[in-house]
């Protein structure tokens, strides 16, 4: 099942008017919930907010958001007046399903625009992972809880029969933290690789007189290495 996710620019009209105490007149100030500080949504939202503020009489302040679910809830409470939300999460909110099943439907927002189509990307530095099924039993960062990334990850893994809570070790990280964890994994594998290959370096660490004796006589090298090892 191929799934395209459209990230939607959502504005809660009723609550924006109540929170601002105006009917859209000049000098209006709005708060715009975006995404995590290290992610694309925060950067993109900040550019949008600056552009509107510089070219209209409406001042928009972009703030760090805590994911699509939190953005919808903040719109509903009036804490913010604008927000990013992925279309699937917006659908859950409007219909009161999935993560909104317990808290109930939220229908106090309106869709202002669809910004761009997103592709779900799975990134690994482990050469043994070649398919989604290979993630089973692995430690996988599936996004911050309540974020659009999290729900996308759960859906994609589910299509391949992988339960995100049982079949993998889930880690709930932002984009930036996930990238750092990938880099840490590379460093750990390199350190392990070097440890496994340390015996190959022992000839270079032999005392100089032993190296002279072994030079040109490979058969002499093994007993010298053994002697060196026992001396340590």
Tens of pLDDT, residue by residue over 69-118, are 999 999 999 999 999 998 888 999 999 998 798 889 999 999 888 887 87
- pLDDT category at 26 given cuts 50, 70, 90 is low
Q: 68-77 vs 87-95: helix axis angle to the nearest 10?
A: 50
Domains in the chain and their CATH numbers?
Answer: 5-118 (3.40.190.10), 120-214 (3.40.190.10)
What are the distances in angstroms from CA 185 to CA 7, 60, 64, 88? 31, 40, 28, 32
CA dist list (Å): 176 to 59, 77, 129, 153, 183:
29, 29, 21, 17, 11
End-to-end CA distance of the chain: 60
Q: Are residues 148 and 89 in contact, defined by beta-carbon separation less than 8 angstroms?
A: yes
Residue 6: pLDDT band (50, 70, 90) is very low
What are 145-172's pLDDT values in tens digits? 877 788 889 999 999 999 999 999 999 9
pTM over 0.75: no
């Amino acid at each position: 099942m191929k799934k395209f996710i459209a990230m939607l620019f959502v504005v809660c009209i009723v609550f924006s008017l109540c929170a601002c105490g105006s009917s859209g007149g000049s000098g209006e100030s709005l708060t715009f919930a975006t995404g995590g500080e290290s992610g694309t949504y925060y950067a993109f939202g900040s550019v949008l907010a600056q552009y509107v503020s510089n070219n209209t009489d409406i001042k928009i302040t972009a703030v760090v958001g805590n994911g699509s679910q939190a953005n919808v809830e903040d719109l509903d409470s009036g804490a913010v007046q604008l927000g990013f939300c992925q279309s699937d999460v917006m659908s859950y909110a409007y219909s009161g399903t999935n993560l909104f099943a317990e808290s109930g439907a939220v229908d106090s927002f309106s869709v202002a625009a669809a910004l761009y189509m997103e592709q779900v990307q799975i990134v690994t530095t482990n050469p043994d992972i070649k398919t989604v099924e290979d993630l089973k039993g692995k430690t996988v960062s599936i996004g911050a809880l309540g974020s659009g990334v999290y729900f996308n990850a759960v859906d994609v893994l589910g299509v391949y029969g992988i339960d995100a809570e049982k079949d993998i070790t889930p880690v709930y990280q932002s984009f930036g933290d996930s990238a750092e964890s990938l880099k840490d994994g590379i460093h750990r594998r390199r350190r392990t690789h070097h440890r496994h290959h340390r015996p190959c370096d022992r000839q270079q660490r032999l005392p100089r007189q032993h190296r002279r004796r072994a030079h040109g006589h490979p058969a002499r090298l093994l007993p010298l290495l053994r002697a060196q090892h026992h001396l340590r």
